[in-house]
Amino acid sequence: MNLGQLKKSLVLIVLACFVGCTHNFNVKPFPIKPNLLPELNIKKSVQIVNVQDQGKNNIFKSGAGSKWIGDLGLWTEGAVELVKLVLNNQNVTLAHDADKTLKLAITAGKLTTEFAGIRCVVNLEVEAGNGYTQNYEGNHRNSSPIAEQARRYAGAGAVTKAVTDLLNDRNIIEYLEN
């Protein structure tokens, strides 16, 4: 290889590092184990609303040659569906014109590579119909040897953790039950 070919190769390598690939990173949360949730005694109907804009992208991770970008509206929709599943399993009536409302939005997320694993942290912002607001941090690490699987499982686990914390919040429970 002559000097000209070597320079061209180096330029291509540098460009690949800066241009790189963009990966779509959206996940579906895991079901919550029933023993991690309280028994709810909700007599009034409940509405769960996704208030995060669809198409609002978040860079979860950016590094040399790649970006992991997720639509926070889709991430929030996963959280909404998980809350609805839990409430349905506890025989709570869900309705659009409900007596009680919870507005959900995943507002941020981040992926980090750690020794033998990948961690995802998300922020779930919730506003109850009585004005109570709270942020729940979902933080989950996965150590699958397959990087793609580790990222997806870390993200799904982070959303599941945030929703579990939401459904264990005494203020939210009291609002929904009274």
CA 160 to mean position of chain CA atoms = 8
pLDDT at 18: 52
Contacts 24+ apart (CB under 8 A), 135-140: 135/107, 136/162, 136/163, 136/165, 136/166, 136/169, 137/162, 137/165, 138/162, 138/163, 138/165
pLDDT at 147: 83
Could you tell me the domains of the chain? Answer: 21-177 (3.40.50)
Instruction: With H, G, I as helix, E, B as strand and everything else as coil, classify residue 31.
Output: coil
pLDDT at 21: 82
Spatial distance between the Cα atoms of 27 and 80, rounded to a whole number of angstroms: 13
pLDDT at 104: 98
- In the chain, DSSP assigns E strands to 21-24, 46-50, 57-63, 66-71, 100-114, 117-128, 133-142
pLDDT at 3: 67
Kindly tell me the sign of the dihedral angle through the C-alpha atoms of 29, 71, 112, 168: negative
User: Which residue has 């995943």 as its token pair?
Assistant: 106
Instruction: Give me the tens of pLDDT residue by residue for the chain, a chain 178 residues long.
Output: 676 676 666 555 554 555 568 778 888 999 999 999 999 999 999 999 999 998 888 888 777 677 888 999 999 999 999 999 999 999 999 999 999 999 999 999 999 988 889 999 999 999 999 999 999 999 999 998 888 889 899 999 999 999 999 999 999 999 999 9
Q: Which of 150, 77, 156, 81 is nearest to 112 (CA)?
A: 150
pLDDT at 8: 65
Angle between helix 147-167 and 170-177 (nearest 10): 60
Question: Per the structure block, which two tokens stand in for 67?
Answer: 């970006």
